[in-house]
Structure 1
Amino acid sequence: MADFTSTLALSAAGMRVQAQRLRHVSENIANADTPGYHRKTATFEEVIEAGLHTGMVGLGPVNLDRKELTRIYDPGHPLADEGGYYDGSNVDLVVEIADAREAQRSYEANLRMFDQARQMSSALLDLLRR
């Protein structure tokens, strides 16, 4: 039964991390037109509890993408310099949509694993009751 519990914990951790990743992707998409906005990237780290490797994954520090900001020509913009340019964001919507789709698929895979472990533990309990 402990294996089922650890499987449920592993898949729940995976779902939690992918949900947080989707939150960062959503923030990037929402700020794609914000001048000076740097894209947020998240890294994954292994969770270690009491010095032991748990096999679970957690979200590491959120970093800002260091890619150069897009220069936009708009002399009427309040942030434009004397040449008429201002710094846009470095968010690429195609990359963000691909990241969102990958996070969604990973979330769904963890959800299926969670549901399968739940069904197996329920079936085991039914067998033990007989």
Structure 2
Amino acid sequence: NVTSALAFVPYQSTPTYSATKAALHSFSESLRIQLAGADTGVQVIEMVPPGVQTPLFGQQDSEHAMPLDDFLTEALDLLREKPDAKEIVVERARFIRDAVATGTYDDVLAMIAGS
């Protein structure tokens, strides 16, 4: 499942997008547990990209967004390194993904709001 770093710290200009990605994160977690308990052999991997230079939200030329080729290379490298990963989070998305755990949520939320 492809969610977004915005599933973990929302962007005020895209509340529906952020909320649906948060819901997909929760669904992925629940589905992973459900399928593991049923011993189905199905793996649930959540892809957690940052903003990527694509036409989505007009980010194709944004200096704040990650170049698409860089994202794909790093994400596929991570998947190759750890094929049993629950989440694939590129370095550029890690500070947003982990904002609650690192105690930086309010700072990251303010930074995203300012961008």
TM range (shorter): 0.3 to 0.5
Normalising by structure 1, we get a TM-score of 0.31
Larger fraction in helix: 2
Bigger CA radius of gyration:
1
